[in-house]
Amino acid sequence: MNTIKQNISIFMMLVFLASCNKDFLDKQPHEFTDAVFWKTSEQAESALAGAYTPLQDEEALGGEEWCAIEAFGDNGYMQDPYGDYVAMAEFRATQNNEGDLSHNSYVSYYKTIKRSTDVLNYVPTITMDATQKKRILGEANFLKSFAYYELAIRYGGLPIYDSKNPAASLVRKTEAETWAEIEKGLKEATTQLAWDHEEGRPGLGAAWGMLAKVYGYEKKWADAKTAAETVITSGKHSLSTNYADVFSIEHAHDTEILFGLGARLDEYPITPVLMLPNNVWGGTHPEPMGEGWRLVSATNAFYAAYQAGDLRKAATVAKRGVDVITYNGSTDVLIAPNNKSEIVCVKYNAPYKDKYVGWAAGLNVPALRYADILLIATEAIMNLNGGGPGTTSGVAAAATHFNKVRQRAGLAAIAAPTFANLMYERRMELAFEGGDRHFDLVRWGLAASVYNSLPAEGSYKPARTYTQATNRLLPYPQKQIDNSNGSIKQNPGYLGPK
Amino acid sequence: MDFKNRFSSHWRNLTQMLIIMKLTAVLLFLISFEGFSTETHAQNVSLNLKNVSLKKVFKEIQKQTGNNFLYAVELLEKAEKVNLVVQNASLQEVMNKSLQNTALTYSIAERTIVIKSIVSEREVEAQAPPIFNLVTGKVTDDQGQPLAGATILVKGAGKGTKTDANGSFSIDVAPNSTFVISYVGFENTTIEIRNQTTISVQLKPAIGVSDQVVVIGYGTQNKKDLTGSVSTVAAEKLNQGINQSVSHALQGQAAGVTVIQNSGEPGAGVEIRIRGAGSINDNSPLYVVDGIIGGIGSLNPSDIESMTVLKDAASAAIYGARGANGVVIVTTKKGKRNQKPTVSYNSSFGNQSVWKMPSSLDATQRNLIHKEALTNDMVPGTETIWNYYNNPANAVTRTDWFKEVFKTSTISNHNVSVQGGGEKSNYLFSLGYLDNNGVVLGTNFKRYNVRFNSQQEIFENLTLGENVSIVQSNSKTAEIRGGYDGVLSAALFNMRNTPVWADQANAIYGTPTGDFPNPVASLNARDNKSFGTELRGNVYLEYKLHNLVTFKSDFGYNANNGKNTGFQAIAVGGGRGLENKNSLNESRYNSSTWIWNNTASVDKRIGSHHISGLAGMSAESYLWEGLNGGTAYDFTNESRALRYYNNAGSFPNHVTSGADDNTLQSYFGRIGYGYADKYLFAANFRADGSSKFGPTNRWGYFPSVSGGWRISKENFFAGLSSVVSDFKLRGSWGQLGNDKIPNYQYYTTVSGVGSPTLNGNAYIAVAQDRLANANIKWEVTTQTDIGIDASFLNDQFTLTADYFNKLTTDILVQVPLVASLGVGSAPFRNAGDVSNKGFDLGLTYRNNKNAFKYSITANAASVTNKLNSFGIAGSKDIYAANYKNTDVGRIAEGEPLGHFYVYNAVGIFQTQAEVNAYTKSGNKIQPDAVAGDVKFEDRNGDGVISASDRFNAGNSFPTLTGSLSFNGEYKGFDVSMLWVGSQGNKIFNGLKLGGVFMQGTGYNNSPEILNRWTSTNHSTTVPRVTINDPNNNRQFSTLYLEDGSFARLKYLTLGYTFDKKVTGDKISKLRLYLTMQNLITLTKYTGYDPEVGAEGSFGNNLYGLDKGTYPISKAFIIGVNFNF
């Protein structure tokens, strides 16, 4: 017995000492830590892919907010009762308490900004193929500037992310500083990207094109002209033959798309369903009901604004009881009884023609098109020739670029287009593609005169009062002001810290 | 037929039989003299008798304690009269005293005291040989204290004696005799006498004798010695009926322990909160099962022997790390030594239904409301929307969606166990089966439990034991709470003119007009299943060295395997998300935890000193690995047998997998000191190292002290002893830790972030999406507790009351970041402090004196919670608990954690004049309002209604939680019931959005909307109906908040136990019962159920956000308990 006792005592002692292993409490995450990441070209590629991901979020590029922003202009209206968002779109909001579309898209764009910045910081240190590295840095620069651009046109000056200085994220830069940052990234991208690019990625055309658009916002017309014409004269891009083709899966590779968000079936983005009414045939043909989101639709006024013979009309809108559309294997007159207006936006309906294929129909989102660049070139030339907003004289020098867009739409060429002609082309060409109509009117200073004179249309598009000093920018997301404890300031004219 | 005579003759026969049985029993008792398992009752006796017969003494004892006496009349006649003066003495004390000068002894079995001659008749016959030695000796207890009145019987000699007041005895015996020494409350000890003339015997306390032993951390303690705040719940007290889990069974049973049912869904979890919420993160207590830390979710409630809840810091301190939210210790049933195999079979079966059937507007009412809304919104008659309402086919009510969704269903539970033991071992084996079909169509939970444990004394003082359990559970769940897919919201919001089936023969559902699916289609088409297997066990070795130090090494292991599959079939006509594609998602996981505890403990009484101590260490390691297969689509055949990825048509996603692990290492110690059972003191210390913190902050040190004073033991208290049987004052102070945050928070990681489509394909994407904080450290809770344990009138009344003050500092919190930092989640930081103050109270009244025995127990608890400071410069508010993308809760300095933060609706504008008069500096505060709209308070007085006008509109925590239970028995009948309730808490009724506030023409509404404001109905609570809602009536305001107070009859049980005379000797118990669960619910709350669980990303602090809770069901259950 005594031996047993002794043995047991010794055993117990050992037990007490056994787990005093020094490493026992060291647990490594089962993911890359910063210390072991950023070493290979594959890691650089996957980190760059990480910067693309937020763009396909439900409220970001091609998502709900991107579609809903059309309601700020005079082309569309919000069909869903997102009260806070509608209040902003009707210029009634005193704050931005919209926690869904507006706030989530803001969050998504900043994720792209942060991740692109990380790529720009770390990838230069990786030993890898120089061409590949250049492309990766170029794409990161483009994505970063693109995301800042989408936020800047909405909110004005922005916090500029700086990985070494987190405090920078708590303070908004001025609008000029923000645009300078956007410009800087795109300029760098023009030195890094190549004309050839994969679907879903930007190439040199996108970098120059985006830069042209940014110069347009900055009213740097000579630079805008140069940048736009760099794309035009490259010979790498051209308009698709038919306007409607641009919004089809089959033409995803057309060179008209300078930058488009890649889509895959059943995943993201969900742009097509956001525009689709939830009862297209009103029960007259079999169709899956409850599936169309009908977040945004077009106004009767927009439908009426098309010039006769404009081929873009049928590709963009359809009128209840009048227009024939093809959906889910049926071709018939549109009914859509749940649509508040008589007009439905059909621009993204192509994937549903034969069969309803779900929310994520696999259609890429056109984020930057060659047609847009042609019109920016037109606008730059007009401005350089005394033909800016508010003018009525025609500018013949702008006709070449201008008429490429116009003629594809089946309309007669104009020898010396006026600014009003340009306004029409931009509105009809870019309708329901991320709110260009509204942002154009704002930067031209014409929003008040256009919006305030519009009569109410039905219960869904009331008469609005736009004030340039306040409404040229959206109210800054309130949650961000709150989370910064007020160091992020509100835009002029809205409630909050100034 | 002469029924009466027949009956009485039967009765006579029965009585005769009973007398024979009684005598047989006496004989049996006498024959098996040594083998009595005895049991004390915590009943004290006071006597003042002079020169009376023993018979009279026994009568008096019987009266006071309810124990029966069994004796042969001749025995007592021989005995001399006695004098007996005792005050509040234990039953044993009184019995020993009364038999002190007699040749009698006694034993207690099943509340019956059997009086016997020391020398049994049988032994008299076998007279001993005539050579004697005088043997003297001393009998002591395990602590060395002398035992007076212990019986020494010389085996086979027909003689015996008793010890005197010093525990000494002397007796003449023949050589080679055997002594059998017995004392009530101790195990019998046999000693062989060769040639010794002096012996010393130490008796071991009998196992399981006293119901006052309380399981505490790494050991047990007598309840009277406790200095901390501890609640115990014995198995027979656990909630009756069919309890899905141990936590369900604990509801209402212990003061200060709040059990919150998140949902009535089969298989859904339950949250336990002990004394409020200290942390902003996980506030769930630590669970310890049979000494091993681990969850209790899968335990079979019928395997539970007892549960102990350690509430204050001093009690929980031995668990230092993670003990901050309290500790629930579960002890499972074990076999007993020297127990013949006993089989218990418990089976119950019942049906359950929703306790309240909700309703929605029928088609005509819907038409009325929606047309009125369109009119109010001035929608021109030309708009097509009117066509729907003008179509007479749409005014026909075809469906009551709630009746389609909520069904009466069956629930059943079967348990069988076998237990027993020999002299050196004991065992238990049990099987359990639960089948719970939920009240929501198609939902189900099934669980199979197997448990085995045993204990063997393999060498002297060396015990080996183990517990093993295997659990398998299967459940089929429904989309209950989904914002858009939730079937309960769908039942409310779907139009009732839509039929369930448009064409049932061809399986075409009635298609909803709105955004919601047809709920029946959703329930039928979505096949969401989870399957889990858990193996859990521990094995331990216990060695007692020189009867002084007990070493124990206990190794526990827990392995979990599971899979979740979600298959969604195509439901033609089913609406949103159901029409187009079928899909499958499958994920699997396995996890394992091992934990090794090693302790050495001492428990020693020297004179009046009682010293105890414990030292130990523990190591624990956890690993989880999971794999998610992603979603696959386009199954050409939906047959159940083919619901695997191999049969999918398309598979656009990547498979993902990951792992999660952590370790914990701890050293701990406890010392206790008691003097004369009067002055009690204990101190604990624990050091914990957690892998969740970086190397410099890894270790936390958690001390505690506590003391108790049994005032009733003081001499000056003696006069009160007839009223106050026991009175103890307790106080404790201690610190505890909390590391309940995700793993690896001090590392910055680069992890998978979905996959973009590049060049047409899914592309692997990673990002650094989380910021790290290398400096995070333990969250510490300091708790002070003052309490009393008292009992009155011979324990008829018992009272436990505690006041506590908990201060949690360095709270671990994710302070939300600005989005411009570009990361998805904020790092954990140690912020300021949270205080929880309150009391808990438990009161029991028992009456066991009469044939009708009953007890009433009331528990009540109250906690006041406050975030004292955020502790981070510049941070003041965290918004929490999002509903439909808008926060409804807030965490802010100086306010209770988790209060509702909404606008203050002060009424309804009754006239346009009222709108016009509501101004600030001449400007209308609500310029868009018209008569019938909600008037919001401009709290900051800036003349506009904006986000800064929201305020603390009410607490989601109750001011008082409580329970009331009643148990009674009368001649085999038993009745018991439990009421639970809460008072003073608010619930945010999320379904009012859509239900009472119009959300669009796609939504049906609840009947409450019929009381809307109109020019003729001047409602003050329901605004005018409008879809455009320019005044934003539907924004979250106090109109959504409702009083969440409720009282619920958790169960009412009626049982009958058949008399043994009827069931015979073979069957030791046969009881039939009827239980009604959740029979009555009293509440003003209008939602589905007032028991609404927690929501929100910031911990589980915001309770009462109701997104459409799966209601708790009402059940009628019949059952049988059968032991043989």
Pick A52's closest partner by Cβ from B377, B462, B765. Answer: B765
Residues of A in contact with B601 (CB under 8 A): none
Determine, for residues A12 and B543 on separate chains, whether the beta-carbon distance falls below 8 Å: yes
Q: How many CA atoms lie less than 13 Å away from B120 in the CB half-sphere?
A: 20
Q: Do A81 and B821 touch (CB under 8 A)?
A: no
Q: How far apart are CA B407 and CA B320, in angstroms?
A: 47
CB B650 within 8 A of CB B700: no
Q: Which two three-digit tokens encode residue B235?
A: 């198995």
Contacts of B942 in chain A (CB under 8 A): 495
| pLDDT confidence of residue A158 | 97
Q: Which of residues 920-949 of B touch A (CB under 8 A)?
A: 928, 942, 944, 946-948
Per residue in B598-641, pLDDT (tens digit) is 999 998 888 889 899 999 999 999 999 999 998 899 999 999 99
Q: With a cut of 60, say whether residue B28 has pLDDT above it.
A: no
What number is the average pLDDT over the span B448-466? Answer: 92
Q: What is the pLDDT of residue B1089?
A: 87
pLDDT for res B546: 81
Please indicate if any CB of chain A lies within 8 Å of the CB of B690.
yes
Q: Is A321 helix (H, G, I), strand (E, B) or coil?
A: coil
Mark yes or no for CB contact B459/A80 under 8 Å.
no
Q: Is B1012 or B191 the better-scoring residue by pLDDT?
A: B1012
On whether the CB atoms of residues A276 and A287 are closer than 8 A, the answer is no
The H or E element that residue B1102 is part of is: strand B1102-1103
The C-alpha atoms of residue B399 and residue B773 are separated, in whole angstroms, by 55
**Which of B383-387, B428-432, B950-954, B988-992 has the least mean pLDDT?**
B383-387
Instruction: Say if residues B744 and B798 touch (Cβ distance below 8 Å).
Output: no
Question: Residues of chain B with pLDDT > 70: what percent?
Answer: 89
Residue found by looking up tokens 């170029």 in the block: A138
Calpha distance A10→B1095 (Å, rounded): 51
Q: What pTM does this model have?
A: 0.81
Q: Which of residues 779-838 of B touch A (CB under 8 A)?
A: 816-824
Cα(A308)–Cα(A306) distance, rounded to whole angstroms? 6
- Give the nearest partner residue to B822 out of A115, A458, A488, using CB atoms: A115
CB contact under 8 A, B822 and A106: no
- Nearest Cα to B300, choosing from B430, B419, B444? B430
Q: Do A262 and B1032 touch (CB under 8 A)?
A: no
User: pLDDT tier at B1099 (50, 70, 90 boundaries)?
Assistant: very low
Exposure string over A60-89, b if 16+ CB within 10 A, otherwise e: bbbbbbbbbbbbbbbbbbbbbbbbbbbbbb
Flag if B659 and A339 touch (Cβ within 8 Å).
Answer: no
Q: Residue B1003: closest CA among chain A residues belongs to which residue?
A: A81
Question: What pLDDT is recorded for position B909?
Answer: 95
Q: Name which residue leads in pLDDT, B784 or B17.
A: B784
The pLDDT value recorded for residue B119 is 60
Considering only CA atoms, which of B779, B878, B884 is closest in space to residue B830?
A: B779
CA nearest neighbour of A251 among A141, A366, A338, A343: A366
CB within 8 Å: B765 and A485: no
Distance set, CA A249 to CA A181, A203, A361, A476 (Å): 34, 20, 9, 36
The answer to whether the CB atoms of A111 and B769 lie below 8 A apart is: yes
Of the pLDDT bands very low, low, confident and very high (cuts 50, 70, 90), residue A11 is: low
Do residues B91 and B63 make contact, with C-beta atoms less than 8 angstroms apart? no
> Average pLDDT for residues B46-55, to the nearest whole number?
79
Q: Is residue B31 predicted with pLDDT exceeding 60?
A: no
Among candidate residues B562, B541, B335, B597, the one with its CA nearest the CA of residue B451: B335
How many angstroms separate the CA of residue A155 from the nearest CA in chain B?
Answer: 13
pLDDT given at position B622: 93
The encoded tokens of residue B48 equal 């003042």
CA of A172: which chain B residue's CA is closest? B820
| B749 contacts on A by Cβ (under 8 Å) | 29, 31-34
Chain A positions touching B1003 (Cβ under 8 A) are: none
With an 8 Å Cβ cutoff, is B691 touching chain A?
Answer: yes
DSSP assignment of A338-379 equals T-SSSEEE-TT-GGGSSS---S---PPEEEEEHHHHHHHHHH
**B37 pLDDT tier (thresholds 50, 70, 90):** very low
**% pLDDT > 90, chain B:** 32
Tell me if B378 and A113 make a contact (CB, 8 A cut-off): no
Cα dihedral across residues A418, A420, A421, A423: positive or negative:
positive
CA distance A486 to A170: 9
Q: Which of B659, B665, B816 sits opposite A30 (nearest CB)?
A: B659
| Identity at B88, one-letter amino acid code | N
For residue A53, name the pLDDT band (cuts at 50, 70, 90).
very high
pLDDT tens-digit readout, B676-702: 888 999 998 989 999 989 888 899 999
Counting one residue from A and one from B, how many pairs have CB atoms under 8 Å apart? Answer: 289
Which of B750, B778, B814, B876 is most worth mutating to test chain A (most A CB atoms within 10 A of its CB)?
Answer: B750
Structure tokens at A17: 């000492």
Distance between terminal CA atoms of chain A?
Answer: 85
Is residue A315 over pLDDT 50?
Answer: yes
Please report which confidence band the pLDDT of residue B223 belongs to, taking 50, 70 and 90 as the band edges: confident
Closest Cβ opposite residue B380 in set A112, A337, A458: A458
d(C-alpha B329, C-alpha B331), whole Å = 7
Could A111 and B823 be called an inter-chain contact, meaning their C-beta atoms sit closer than 8 Å?
A: yes
CB contact under 8 A, A290 and B575: yes
Q: For residues B953 and B1033, what is the distance between their CA atoms, to the nearest angstrom?
A: 17
The Cα of A429 is separated from the nearest Cα of chain B by a number of Å equal to 26
Mutate to test the interface with A, among B522, B552, B820, B948 (most CBs of A within 10 A): B820
The DSSP call for residue A73 is S
Q: Which of B664, B887, B1028 sits opposite A459 (nearest CB)?
A: B1028
Give the mean pLDDT of A256-264: 94
Confidence bin at B35 (pLDDT 50/70/90): very low
Average pLDDT over residues B918-947: 91
Q: Distance (Å) from the C-alpha of residue B499 to the closest C-alpha of chain A? A: 14
Number of residues written out for chain B = 1124
Q: What is the DSSP string of B949-985?
A: G-EEEEESS-SEEEEEEEEEEETTEEEEEEEEEEES-
Decide which of A10 and B173 is more confident.
B173
Contact A99 B387 (CB under 8 A): no
8 Å CB contact of B757 and A358: no
Q: Does B511 touch chain A (CB under 8 A)?
A: yes
Q: B297 falls in which pLDDT band (50, 70, 90)?
A: confident
- Average pLDDT of chain B is 83
- For B749, the closest of A33, A97, A261 (CB atoms) is A33
Between positions 739 and 778 of B, the ones with CB within 8 A of A are: 743-744, 747-769
Q: Which residue has the tokens 């026992």?
A: A24
| Residue B126 confidence (pLDDT) | 44
Coarse DSSP helix, strand, coil percentages of chain B, rounded to the nearest 5 percent: 15, 45, 35
- Cis peptide preceding A337, ω within 30 of 0: no
Report the C-alpha gap between B13 and B7 in whole angstroms: 10
The average pLDDT across A21-47 equals 87
| Mean pLDDT, range B967-984, rounded to an integer | 90
Which member of A19, A87, A290 has the closest CB to residue B512? A290
More confident call, B91 vs B34: B91
Which residues are registered as beta bridge partners of B353? B1114
Judge whether B720 is closer than 8 Å to chain A, CB to CB. no
Provide, as residue numbers in chain A, all residues whose Cβ is less than 8 Å from the Cβ of B818: 159, 169-170, 480, 483-484, 488
Given a cut of 60, whether residue B1095 has pLDDT beyond it is no
Supply the pLDDT for residue A22.
Answer: 64
pLDDT exceeds cutoff 80 at B1065: no
pLDDT per position as a tens digit, B119-156 = 654 444 444 445 677 788 888 776 667 777 788 888 77
pLDDT score of B150: 82
Interval A53-68 mean pLDDT: 93
- Report which of residues A280 and B722 the model is more confident about: A280
Nearest in space to A368 (alpha carbons), one of A113, A76, A152, A62:
A62
Of B387, B751, B758, Cβ closest to residue A49: B758
Sequence-separated (6 or more) residues with CB below 8 Å from residue B942: A495, B920, B948
Question: Considering only CB atoms, which chain A residues are within 8 Å of B690?
Answer: 25
Say if B594 is an interface residue toward chain A (CB within 8 Å): no
Rounded distance between C-alpha atoms, residue B576 and residue A358, angstroms: 10
Which H or E run includes A177?
helix A175-192
End-to-end alpha carbon distance in chain B: 38
Checking if the pLDDT of B190 tops 50, the result is: yes
Q: How far is A401 from chain B (nearest CA, A)?
A: 30
Q: Which two tokens stand for residue B446?
A: 């099934």
How many Å lie between the alpha carbon of A55 and the closest alpha carbon of chain B? 9
Q: Which of A194-198, A486-490, B25-29, B330-334 has the lowest mean pLDDT?
A: B25-29
Q: Give B893-956 as a DSSP string.
A: TTS-TTEEEEB-EEEE--SHHHHHH-EETTEESSTT--TTSEEEP-TT-SSS--GGG-EEEEES
DSSP conformation letters of B1048-1093 = EEEEEEEEEE--HHHH-SS-SEEEEEEEEES--EEE---SS-S---
Chain position carrying tokens 């406890």: B670
State chain A's maximal CA–CA distance in angstroms. Answer: 114
* Residue A19: per-residue pLDDT: 47
User: What b/e sequence results for B982-1009 when a residue is b if at least 16 CB atoms lie within 10 Å of its CB, and e otherwise?
Assistant: bbebbbbbbbbbbbbbbbbbbbbbbebb
The answer to whether B129 and B174 have CB atoms below 8 angstroms apart is yes
Residue in the block written with tokens 């302790």:
B599
Q: What percent of chain A has pLDDT over 70?
A: 95
Task: Say yes or no: B112 contacts chain A, CB-CB below 8 A.
Answer: no
Instruction: Give backbone dihedrals phi and psi of B172, rounded to 5 degrees, phi first.
Output: -90, 125
- Quote the CA–CA distance of B809 and B877 in Å, as a whole number: 17
Residue B689 is nearest to which of A25, A49, A158, comparing CB atoms?
A: A25
Is residue B573 within 8 angstroms of chain A, CB to CB?
A: yes
pLDDT band at B386 (very low <50, low <70, confident <90, very high): confident
DSSP single-letter state for residue B355: S
| pLDDT tier for residue B207 given thresholds of 50, 70 and 90 | very low
Q: Which of B512, B757, B948 faces A200 most closely, judged by CB atoms? A: B757
B958, B1044 contact by CB (below 8 A): yes
Please give the pLDDT value at position A13.
53
Find tokens 């448990």 and name the residue.
B451
Tell me which chain A residue has its CA closest to the CA of residue B544: A5
At which residue do the structure tokens 């681990």 appear?
B294
Q: Say yes or no: B581 contacts chain A, CB-CB below 8 A.
A: yes
Residues of B in contact with A200 (CB under 8 A): 756-760
**Which tokens belong to A407?**
């003629």
**B1100: pLDDT strictly greater than 60:** no
Would you place residue B1049 in the very low, low, confident or very high pLDDT band (cuts 50, 70, 90)? very high
Comparing CB atoms, the residue among B650, B754, B759 nearest residue A53 is: B754
Rg (CA), chain B: 34
For residue B350, what are its two tokens? Answer: 């019942």
Q: Is the ipTM of this complex over 0.90?
A: yes
Q: In this model, does residue B4 exceed pLDDT 60?
A: no
